[in-house]
Amino acid sequence: MPITQLPVVCSNDSEILVTKGASKSLQLSFGVDLTGSVVQIVVKRSPTALDILLTKNATITPPSENGKAQLDFVSTDYASVGAGFYVYTISKITGADVTVLTTGRFVLEPFDQTFVAQIEPIMRLAITNSMERLGLEVLDSDGVLADPVELQVNLLDFSDSRVVQINLGDPNLIHPEAGIFMFDFQSNRAGDFLAIWNYRFLGEESQTVVKNIRWVTPGMFRMIPEIRLYIDKARKASNKTIAFNPVDCAEYIQNSLRDFNQTPPTTGIQLEAVSEEYKEIIVMGAIVQSLIAQGLLAVDQDFQYNDNGISLSIDHHTKLLSWYTTLVNLYIAKKRAVKFNFFHGTVLARTVVGQAFALGFSKIAPGTAARFRGWI
């Protein structure tokens, strides 16, 4: 049966989604005569559960024979119910007769947050010197938010040193409701941090959840929109991100910088120290990195189909490869020209800036230096 959530239309006709602390109205259309009847919703943990968590009657919209009703939830209806996934049954009650009209999933979200299990990314970004709130939503075996008997979180920095350890009951552990745990952390250093959560329910084995949080410099974060404008066509068309999220772009920028630094003559520049005239080569390198990622994905997903003279060919890889070849040649040429700025001339020979290389260069056998001149 179609269910319209006001003011939002639900993507799944059989799913009802409400948020703790908020009100929600549903319009229901059953296509049966509701004259003299009561329309009632019953919410339980599972179809076979005996305990009823929520019961509510709907208002039948005249004329009754049209089979329409409206169900109005208020925050007190589910204040004592833990956020989680449940099942519901909507029935038509006429005297002693009970007729099931529709069933589906009832989703109760915790205070306008989306369930972590549904959208949790592989990695998330935070900006250095900004406070970041790191959290976990703990669901029991029934998919309902619940408090475990044991919980501990350890935060490791990029050198695997423990910088935070918080246990259940610690005042630094924010606990707004059952199953939701958070703490605040601020880092002035860029790098990957791991939040390792361990928790256990009574009579069950311990569970571990690991989350990767990458603190990035403001300089890198400012470059992300520029990279995305090149590589994400959805961003160009609608200003919405679909294919490339900030984590992807940050990884491409970091790989581009590593590639630039390791290309002879090797350098050790950091993103914050990159002069404005060198940022273009970092951006171009990030675009090349994104093409590599897309090309590897296309190799796995592209296919050809033929049936009775009808053929279908999905070949993103070949098209991406042609662009990759064009851009990588331009990128190598530009990178080579930029690297030229890190050479300087001397009376004896050209040497790379840096005493270690200059010393080694001066001691090589005569004639061997020709190998190094190919760099410039």
Contact 231, 187 (CB under 8 A): no
Tell whether the model's pLDDT for residue 310 goes beyond 90: no
254 versus 301: the higher-pLDDT residue is 254
Give the chain's domains with CATH numbers.
Answer: 3-109 (2.60.40.2950), 116-216 (2.60.40.10), 218-331 (no CATH), 345-376 (no CATH)
- Taking only the tens place, the pLDDT of each residue in 182-223 is 999 999 888 889 999 999 998 888 888 888 888 888 888 888
Average pLDDT over residues 287-306: 69
pTM for this model (two decimals)? 0.56
Q: What is the pLDDT of residue 137?
A: 86
Q: Please, what sign has the CA dihedral across residues 9, 15, 20, 26?
A: positive
Following DSSP, what letter does each residue of 190-255 receive, concatenated? -EEEEEEEEEE-TTS--EEEEEEEEEE-HHHHHHHHHHHHHH-HHHHHHS--SS--HHHHHHHHHH
In the block, which residue shows the tokens 């589906």?
Answer: 104
Q: What is the H or E stretch that residue 38 is in?
A: strand 38-44
pLDDT for position 325: 78
Element (H, E) at 317: helix 316-339
Q: What is the pLDDT of residues 326-364, one digit of tens each?
A: 778 888 888 888 887 776 544 444 444 444 444 444 444
